[in-house]
Amino acid sequence: MPQVKFVDLGRQYELLREEILEEVDKVCRKGDYILGHSLKLFESAFAEFCGVSYAVGVGNGSDALYLSLKVLGIGPGDEVITAPNSFIATAWVIAHTGASIRFADVGEDMNLDPISVQNAITPKTKALMPVHLTGRIAKMDELQKIADENGLYLVEDAAQAIGATYNGKRAGSFSNCAGFSLHPLKNLHAAGDGGIITTDSSELYELLNKYRNHGLKNRDDCDFWGINSRLDTIQAAIALIKLKHLEIWNKRYQAIAAKYSESLKGLVSVPTHANHESPVYHRYMIRTEKRDLLQSFLDKKGIETKVNYPVPLHLQPAAANLGYRKGSFPVAENLCKTILSLPAYPELHDHEIDFVIETIFEFFSVTS
Ligand SMILES: *Cc1c(COP(=O)(O)O)cnc(C)c1O
């Protein structure tokens, strides 16, 4: 048993247990399970939180991205450009529309590098899908400019960035459609799988409402073949309770990150950000050439850490047909070898943070 777990979901549940059980009970008593009242409430609260007109709850974050691409009409013959240092879903959602995945390298911020994106554009490119990795928003001013100049759609993979801001605007408000995940490991989560899409377009909103519900426009009439991917009313009710706490939780993520960075900056490379950015530190990632040694040292001391993610998407066996190789994206590949995510979640205790910091100091005093 680790002394400091990477995440301890039980702590948050204890805090909200009564409120959650009460809301779940209400939904069950009414049998309001599918497309119910709390889903509507959550969708409007979420749209307001992100500063957009509409939000549509779906089955998970991957479907949120997949449906975003589908309603924009992306399909066979098209190309979508995204980052190679992300979770698997970022790639498969593109592949499953029938479009081709094009990767571009990332910058020191770990997010899409605008110059590399510019170089990856071809006449077939239809959309850019930046990933706001670790809860830090990609360089949206430059990416928006590239999208405008080349007539491309923008879809944010905002799965890790709920509440993050860039030039004062929140994640999910920079693109045609943005996909968020409510997976239990994300800053705002349900009690299982869940996802939500934000958009400012009433037209896309109407399409998304149908697409997630078989393509039905009413009980019996189907405009096109959709899929079944709706956010359960129970999950929406739980997420709505948590949304009220999100700003406080995100501040705690930021405070934990500040404490780690202040203490560790002389030993390892720590995340930084500019004044116009406010990342939410879904992951707190340090970088060091001694990553593997440090990780096993921490493990022996009872501190659980993760690598998000060790294998870049373009080097996955699933990507073999795309024609990339080792060396295609040097920055992303180097990140995969040097990054380490430390325990960082709102309910983490100060003495646990201190223990992680002390143990990292101990590692560097014995190895250097
Ligand atoms: C979590 C995540 C997803 C997928 O979300 P699910 O809800 O697990 O389907 C997609 N992209 C990124 C970057 C993620 O972190």
Nearest atom in ligand 1 to the alpha carbon of residue 133 is 13
Q: How confident is the model at residue 96 (pLDDT cuts 50, 70, 90)?
A: very high
What is the Å distance from ligand 1's center to 97 Cα? 17
pLDDT digits (tens, 9 = 90+) for 208-245: 999 999 999 999 999 999 999 999 999 999 999 999 99
**Whole-number average pLDDT of the chain:** 97
User: Ligand 1, residues 60, 62, 66, 309: which to mutate, most atoms within 8 A of Cβ?
Assistant: 62
Average the pLDDT over 253-267 and give the result.
98
pLDDT digits (tens, 9 = 90+) for 344-367: 999 999 999 999 999 999 999 988
Average the pLDDT over 102-127 and give the result.
98
pTM recorded for the entire structure: 0.97
What is the Å distance from ligand 1's center to 362 Cα? 34
Nearest atom in ligand 1 to the alpha carbon of residue 93 is 10
131 ligand 1 Cβ < 6 A: yes
Q: How confident is the model at residue 368 (pLDDT cuts 50, 70, 90)?
A: low
Tokens representing 133? Answer: 């990795």
Q: How confident is the model at residue 1 (pLDDT cuts 50, 70, 90)?
A: low
pLDDT digits (tens, 9 = 90+) for 155-185: 999 999 999 999 999 999 999 999 999 999 9
Cβ proximity of 208 and 195 under 8 Å: no
160 ligand 1 Cβ < 6 A: yes
Query: Strands 125-129, 79-82: parallel, antiparallel or unpaired by DSSP?
Result: parallel
312 ligand 1 Cβ < 6 A: no
Q: What is the pLDDT of residue 102?
A: 98
Distance CA 326, CA 143 (A): 26
pLDDT digits (tens, 9 = 90+) for 26-84: 999 999 999 999 999 999 999 999 999 999 999 999 999 999 999 999 999 999 999 99
159 ligand 1 Cβ < 6 A: yes
Q: How confident is the model at residue 2 (pLDDT cuts 50, 70, 90)?
A: confident
pLDDT digits (tens, 9 = 90+) for 287-315: 999 999 999 999 999 999 999 999 999 99
CA distances for 183 relative to 8, 128, 210, 214, 359, angstroms: 14, 24, 23, 23, 30
